[in-house]
Homo-oligomer: A and B are copies of this chain.
């Protein structure tokens, strides 16, 4: 029994991820997830206590991959610190031009569940963004920038702003604008120290 259980559970999470991200949380029924996973609903409820728990599992599964991707983009970029930060936005713009792109799953979930402030999924989303911010702060701090914390917050604002704006207008060029703004702020902060 070492494998089959995890495979079923992971299959359910996979199906839930695709559906929740593509359609939204409340637009997707538990039945739909079960069917997409090739499993009966009762089996789904064997592995997850409730839909809420399934939502949480969906976001938890996206936490690390997302962070890894951002770091990869940053590390792979050439140029100074500002250019490396801007590279994140440029890569994101490329991703956002894919037809299946539907914004940031964490933000969309928090928008949809805004009436349930303590919901586990929202806590997971908040923690995810905090990790990203903390990583940026460390990067800035190591680069000798004075108020690294404040600059990291501003990057996060531009990043999440670009998620929201690009989703609304379906115009990925906003992400490049965000990248330019981010680079400007980094350069100002680097000079000012």
Contact = CB atoms under 8 A, between A and B. Distances in A.
B165 A160 contact: yes
Contacts of A113: 24
Contacts of A169: 126, 129-130
Chain A interface mostly = helix
Which of A111, A112, A180 neighbours the largest number of chain B CB atoms within 10 Å of its CB?
A111
Contact of A107 (B106, B150, B168, B184): B168
Interface string A103-146: 10011101111110100001001100110000000000000000
A162 interface: yes
Contact of A112 (B111, B126, B129, B185): B111
- Total identical chains: 2
Interface stretch (A2-10, A77-85, A151-159): A151-159
Interface in A41-95: none
Interface in A166-193: 167-170, 174, 177-178, 180-181, 184-185, 188
A-B pairs with the 5 shortest C-beta distances? A161-B161, A157-B161, A111-B111, A154-B181, A26-B26
Given A26-B26, A159-B161, 8 more contacts: A24-B111, A26-B27, A108-B111, A129-B169, A157-B157, A157-B181, A158-B158, A161-B162
